[in-house]
Amino acid sequence: MSSSSAAARREGRAESASGRPPMRQALVAAAFRLFVERGYEQTTVDDIVALAGVGRRSFFRYFPSKEDVVFPDHERCLADMTDFLAASPEGAEPVRRVCDAARLVLRMYAEDPSFSVQRYRLTKEVPGLRAYELSVVWRYERALAAYLRGRFAGRPDGTLRADVIAAAVVAAHNNALRSWLRSGGLGDASTEVDHALGLVQSAFGAAPAATGPGADSEDVVVVVARRDVPLWRVVQQLEAVLGRG
């Protein structure tokens, strides 16, 4: 069943066929029940462990902090993303690749829409959770930026472009994701995200240099310019690519 496998994924570990739901899951379930019915800050860790029927000490064994119980799957997702980026083929177009990496996060959210929507409502209200979410998102962004920095190494403004593109990708992804969450997680999230990421790709994607097949890869640069963008902008791009003449 979908909800069961989604819960298992939330767990970050396979569910054993032999019942006995692991303590981690019980804690997440208990926590969310209390969070939605009486609020995050009004719920103490003691309340959670009492409802889950476990010792207080065990809570912090599974979750380093109270906030972590709200994001039980991000650690796993972040690892997936770094793996995905590390496994990139050499010839992959970098911007497209980070956009695909961002889609991994979307997939995680889409796997359990009701859970994601609940969490969204929580994080929107509680400042502490918002701050925590920011630090999570920041780690995704750094993973994307690290990959791009590697791909842009040697290029002038390589790290700058990497940071900016990573931020743009994350912002576009989050814009679409939040719009989907605000709608209650009903429609298709991926089309909206595709559109948003498309905008970023059109702004940063093909325009900067692709090396031609025949030539020595270092001494030729190909610029694709749209006729409707002003000439000075094309020249600016050229300067950036060529490293100031």
Partner DNA sequence: CTCCGATGGTGCACCGAGTGCCAGGTGCAG
Partner DNA sequence: CTGCACCTGGCACTCGGTGCACCATCGGAG
Q: Which stretch binds DNA (CB under 7 A): 9-17, 43-51, 201-209, 236-244?
A: 43-51
Q: How far is the CB of 139 from a copy of itself (least distance, A)?
A: 10
The mark string for 22-41 relative to a copy of itself (x by CB under 8 A, - otherwise) is --------------------
Q: Quick check: 116 binds DNA (CB under 7 A)? A: no
Q: How far apart are the first and last CA of the chain?
A: 60
Q: Which stretch binds a copy of itself (CB under 8 A): 5-13, 27-35, 75-83, 222-230?
A: 222-230
Q: How far is the CB of 51 from DNA (least distance, A)?
A: 12
Ramachandran region of residue 63, left (φ > 0), alpha (ψ -120 to 50) or beta? beta
Helix (H, G, I), strand (E, B) or coil at 218: coil
- The footprint of a copy of itself on residues 187-206 (CB under 8 A) is 195-196, 198-200, 202-206
d(CA 40, CA 33): 10
Q: How far is CA 138 from the centre of its chain?
A: 9
Query: Which listed residue (8, 29, 51, 54) binds DNA by CB under 7 A?
Result: 54
Beta-carbon count within 10 A of 144 CB: 28
The mark string for 15-34 relative to DNA (x by CB under 7 A, - otherwise) is --------x-----------
Q: What are phi and psi of 210, to 5 degrees?
A: -130, 140
Q: Quick check: 58 binds a copy of itself (CB under 8 A)? A: no
d(CA 110, CA 136): 18
